[in-house]
Amino acid sequence: MNSVAMRSQTGGKTRKILLTSAAIIVVLFLAAAVVAHHYWPFAESAVRKDLASDTGATVRFGSFHQTLFPPGCVAENVVFQHDGSSEPFMTVQKLTIRAYPSGMFRNHVSLVRAEGLHAIVSRSDFKKSNYSQGKTSIVDRLVADDAMLELRRDSPQQNIAFAFHKLTMKNLGDSGTVEFAAVLDNPMPRGLLRVSGEFGPWKGSDVAETPVSGKYSLEQADLSVFKGIAGGLSSNGEFRGIFKQMEIAGSTSSPQFEITKTHHGLPLETQFTASVSATDGDVILHQVKARFGRNQIEAQGSIARGPNQKRSAILDLRCERGRIEDVFYPFIHSPKSPLTGDVAFTMKVTIPSGHEPFLEKLELRSIFQIHNARFTKERTQEKLNEIAEGPKQKNPTETLSDFEGTVAVTGGVARFSSLSVHDQGAAANFHGSFGLISERVNMQGNLKTATSLSKTTSGISSVFAKVLEPFFKKRPHETVVPVKIGGTYSHPSFGLNM
């Protein structure tokens, strides 16, 4: 065979191989096209159907286009609305969906980015889920930065909005747990809240039963949103449970918890355990250990709606070791408490919701004892930070007094049903009132002395000595005298009560 024939035979084989290869490639492309057409999830109708199935809502797009590299789509002005509803429950300015080819065959979406998301959640949404129970795509990672979540309550004034700076969820749509991390503005008190954890498996028949756990930190929350008090609050802790009852263990710190009426404040630190309901916002305080100035206080209570549907804070407080000057200081204008000494008390406090000043809406009942008390001099000017210092060295010959009493506070007025004072030389029993706002004093009772007032230089008798000495000169054998205290805190008057 000559060389020409050999070249002809070789060329024929090559063309046959090339044609066969081309045919195989065409068949593969056709097969890939068929498979892609069957499995391609990013057509507009397919995406709309999936989103509607996942949310149980009607879905509308303002615009839509697909992307091939990477596989996915972009939808703008997306609206989610339940049938029969007058407004959408969720809108997204731009929804970007991305997937890796390997994940498409496993029904996985690699990334969903929701820009400008605004969601509205009502209390009824926690009772029963609108989500489909069928097979849905699993989102490996959802990013919804700069999102807004609005919780609708019974009236527009009670609505709460959460502004998310960052929000990430992983494994969304799986039957297992979903990881989440968020940075958002806490609405009340306003501060930066960081929260992370996981929730699930999702309870579609009753969302409130879905398990949740994680940790949080609240940075420099502004307490001035609650009219009548001020100061910065920081808190951190962990939570675990279900949406309708999360158990929280944490701590708070407020370097200067202040009453705005007086602009006096003291450091407040707490450690607490509580139950919080995400469905209605109620808080049950199981145990609180607090340190307010030098007062060590234990408390329990609740922040919840009452029969009138108004939210109130109700606290039961107990202090076995404290200082009375740190109890008085936040509520008085003077830079120094009128009394110093060791204090112990039990107290029930109710703070109703509303825009009234703190001292006007405060309701309080207390039984207290003050030991080793001494009266401080009027008009003594000291720096505010001296309030937090330890008591000064007492004069060894100074007479100390003990106090016991029962007081109730309503409408900014403290009413004493009983107040007894006794020291080495005298004893007194009072009842009356003191205006926390007006600072007016109206107390009356009986003073019993053991010696002549002319010999009294200290203790409770010395307070009345000047005005009662003429009475004792006329009636030297009297041991019980009716007395009264009037005037104001800054300018009190002491006299005989005829």
> Would you say residue 195 has pLDDT above 70?
yes
The more confidently predicted of residues 124 and 194 is: 194
Please state, in angstroms and as integers, the Cα–Cα distance from residue 460 to each residue in 313, 374, 428, 453, following that order. 38, 9, 8, 11
Task: For residue range 110-150, list pLDDT tens digits in order.
Answer: 899 999 999 988 766 655 555 444 456 788 899 999 999 98
User: Whole-angstrom Cα distance, residue 52 to residue 297?
Assistant: 53
355 lies in some domain = no
Nearest 5°: the CA angle 45, 47, 51 is 120
Highest mean pLDDT: which of 103-112, 438-447, 455-464?
A: 438-447
**SS3 (DSSP) at 459:** helix
Q: Are strands 147-152 and 118-122 parallel, antiparallel or unpaired?
A: parallel
Amino acid code (one letter) for 482: P
- H/E element holding 137? none
Question: Picking from 33-42, 302-311, 388-397, which range would have the lowest pLDDT averaged per residue?
Answer: 388-397
The more confidently predicted of residues 284 and 474 is: 284
Give the percent of the chain with pLDDT over 90: 38
Task: For residue range 41-55, list pLDDT tens digits in order.
Answer: 788 888 898 888 888
Q: Are 311 and 155 in contact (CB under 8 A)?
A: no
* Phi, psi at 288, each rounded to 5°: -130, 125
Give the percent of the chain with pLDDT over 70: 75
User: Whole-angstrom Cα distance, residue 437 to residue 443?
Assistant: 16
Which of 158, 176, 197 is at the close of a domain? 158
User: Whole-angstrom Cα distance, residue 276 to residue 184?
Assistant: 19
The more confidently predicted of residues 425 and 185 is: 185
37 lies in some domain = yes
Task: Place 72 in a pLDDT band, splitting at 50, 70 and 90.
Answer: confident
pLDDT reported for residue 6: 52
4 lies in some domain = no
Amino acid code (one letter) for 194: R
Which of 158, 182, 202 is at the close of a domain? 158
Nearest Cα to Cα of residue 267 among 234, 306, 228: 234
**Residue 185 in tokens:** 């503005």
User: Whole-angstrom Cα distance, residue 342 to residue 325?
Assistant: 9
Q: Are 97 and 119 in contact (CB under 8 A)?
A: no
**SS3 (DSSP) at 29:** helix
406 lies in some domain = yes
Report, as an integer, the average pLDDT of 226-250.
Answer: 91
Q: Are 58 and 75 in contact (CB under 8 A)?
A: no
Task: For residue range 395-413, list pLDDT tens digits in order.
Answer: 444 567 899 999 999 999 9
Which of 158, 180, 215 is at the close of a domain? 158
User: Whole-angstrom Cα distance, residue 460 to residue 449?
Assistant: 10
136 lies in some domain = yes
127 lies in some domain = yes
Q: Which residues pair with 432 in a beta bridge?
A: 416, 443
pLDDT reported for residue 18: 60
Instruction: Specify the residue for token string 């003291």.
Output: 266
- H/E element holding 171? strand 160-172
User: What is the domain range of residue 63?
Assistant: 18-158
Report, as an integer, the average pLDDT of 200-224.
Answer: 88
Nearest Cα to Cα of residue 149 among 85, 99, 195: 195
> Would you say residue 493 has pLDDT above 60?
yes
477 lies in some domain = yes
Number of domains in the chain: 2
Report, as an integer, the average pLDDT of 156-165.
Answer: 81
2 lies in some domain = no
What is the chain's percent helix, strand, coil content, to nearest 5?
20, 50, 30
Question: Picking from 55-64, 192-201, 460-469, which range would have the lowest pLDDT averaged per residue?
Answer: 460-469
Instruction: Specify the residue for token string 């009842």.
Output: 431
Q: Are 303 and 283 in contact (CB under 8 A)?
A: yes
Q: Identify the burial level of 449 via C-beta atoms within 10 angstroms of its C-beta, where 0-12 means exposed, 13-18 middle and 19 or more buried.
A: buried
Q: Could you tell me which residues come within 8 angstroms of residue 435 by beta carbon, excluding any fewer than 6 positions away?
A: 412, 413, 414, 441
Q: Over the chain, what is the mean pLDDT?
A: 80
pLDDT reported for residue 431: 94
pLDDT reported for residue 433: 95
Task: For residue range 428-446, list pLDDT tens digits in order.
Answer: 899 999 998 888 999 999 8
Q: Are 140 and 108 in contact (CB under 8 A)?
A: yes
Nearest 5°: the CA angle 227, 232, 236 is 120
The more confidently predicted of residues 389 and 63 is: 63
The more confidently predicted of residues 19 and 195 is: 195
Residue 475 CB neighbours (<10 A): 10
What's the predicted TM-score (pTM) here? Answer: 0.73
Task: For residue range 352-376, list pLDDT tens digits in order.
Answer: 887 788 888 889 999 999 998 887 7
